[in-house]
Structure 1
Amino acid sequence: MEQLKRKIREHGSVLSEQVLKVDAFLNHQVDPQLMRQIGQEFARRFRDQEIDKVITLETSGIAPALMTALELDVPLVFARKHRSLTLTDDLLTARVYSFTKQVESTVAISASHLAAGERILIVDDFLANGQAALGLAAIVRQAGARLVGIGIVIEKSFQPGRRALEEQGYRVESLARIASLAGSQVSFVE
């Protein structure tokens, strides 16, 4: 997606050969026009899958996932990383390691929000090692639902996430695939 690549080049910041900071438009300050385009693109790529719900992790995945759900005219459900007073019973959970935050946490979705047989699309902001998507996929399986695809805004293709997901048989669609962050430069997979 050329608009996204342009935004990454102009406003992204390479912090190391492993970390790209995109908080100017994706995961701190959000560019709503770009999110609309991202939602439209994911909807175009997955429209043939007859999706019932979009799921993501809080918080950075919410904006692109919401716009995708809006375009597909389906609900969005996000997995919570922190317990709350209202999220207590009948939970679907998975342990997820965050590459960016370097912590493992338990994520949860209320079982009442995912039903057996539903067709689910995961949308997330980044793909590095694939742990977030694999955790969400485990929750989808617990519900008896069917994961029909995974939409990633920015994939770090030099890390093993895509391979891990594809080895499980999942369809992965990434809007920007980064080949390298070496030399403080963003290089895309073409």
Structure 2
Amino acid sequence: MKLLEDKILNVGRVLGDDILKVDSFLNHMIDTDLMMAMGEDFYQHFKDKPINKILTLEVSGIAVAFGAAQYFKVPVLFAKKIESLTLGKDVYTSEVISYTKNKRYNINVAKNFLTEDDHVLIIDDFLAKGEALKGMFDLCQQAGATVEGVGIAIEKVFQGGGQKYRDQGYDVYSQAMIERFENGQVIFIGE
């Protein structure tokens, strides 16, 4: 998606060899026009699938998922990373390893919000090694829900997570696919 790639090139910052900082428009401060354009792009890609729910992770995936949900006219369910007394104990739980935080944590979804009747589009802001996806797939499997596809804002292709799920037969659609970082610059696939 050229609009997202241009935003990354203009205001994103590469940190080290494998981190892209996009906090000025995606995961700290949100460019709402961009989120809606990304949502429409996801809709165009997945519109022929029987999606009735979008699943994402708390916190950074919510804005992207919300943009898509506006076009699909379905609810967004986000897996909670923080335990809450209001969530209760009747939940599906999976462990996720955060690449950028170098930390393990549990994600939780209330069982009454994810069921075997659900046809899910998983959406997330980043895809690196696929650990967050692994946790969301696990939640769907526990619920008996069908994963219809995966929408990713930014995929770091060089870390292999996307290809792992494509090899398993999933429709993984990434709007910006980064081949590598070179001298502090982002190089997209095909450049």
Is the 1:153–1:175 contact (alpha carbons within 8 Å) kept by the matching residues of 2? yes
Give 1:1-190 correspondences, 5 Å limit: 1-190=1-190
Report the Cα distance in structure 1 between the residues aligned to 2:168 and 2:96, rounded to whole angstroms: 17
Q: Percent identity?
A: 43
**How big is the shift at 1:78?**
0.0
**How big is the shift at 1:143?**
0.5
Moved over 3 A (4+): none
Report the Cα distance in structure 2 between the residues aligned to 1:181 and 1:126, rounded to whole angstroms: 15
Report the Cα distance in structure 1 between the residues aligned to 2:68 and 2:183, rounded to whole angstroms: 34
**How big is the shift at 1:155?**
0.2
Helix, strand or coil: the match of 2:177?
A: strand
**How big is the shift at 1:44?**
0.7
Paired positions, count: 190
Report the Cα distance in structure 1 between the residues aligned to 2:16 and 2:48, rounded to whole angstroms: 38
Post-superposition Cα deviations, 1:45-104, rounded to whole Å, max 9, x if no partner, equal 001001010000010000000111111000000000010111122111110001111101
Report the Cα distance in structure 1 between the residues aligned to 2:125 and 2:95, rounded to whole angstroms: 18
Helix, strand or coil: the match of 2:4?
A: helix
**How big is the shift at 1:9?**
0.3
TM-score, normalising length: structure 2: 0.97
**How big is the shift at 1:150?**
0.4
Structure 1 residues not aligned, in runs of 5+: none
**How big is the shift at 1:117?**
2.8
Helix, strand or coil: the match of 1:186?
A: strand
Structure 2 residues not aligned, in runs of 5+: none
Post-superposition Cα deviations, 1:145-188, rounded to whole Å, max 9, x if no partner, equal 10010000000000010122123322100000001112101000
Report the Cα distance in structure 2 between the residues aligned to 1:41 and 1:100, rounded to whole angstroms: 26
TM-score, normalising length: structure 1: 0.98
**How big is the shift at 1:134?**
1.2
Is the 1:154–1:174 contact (alpha carbons within 8 Å) kept by the matching residues of 2? yes
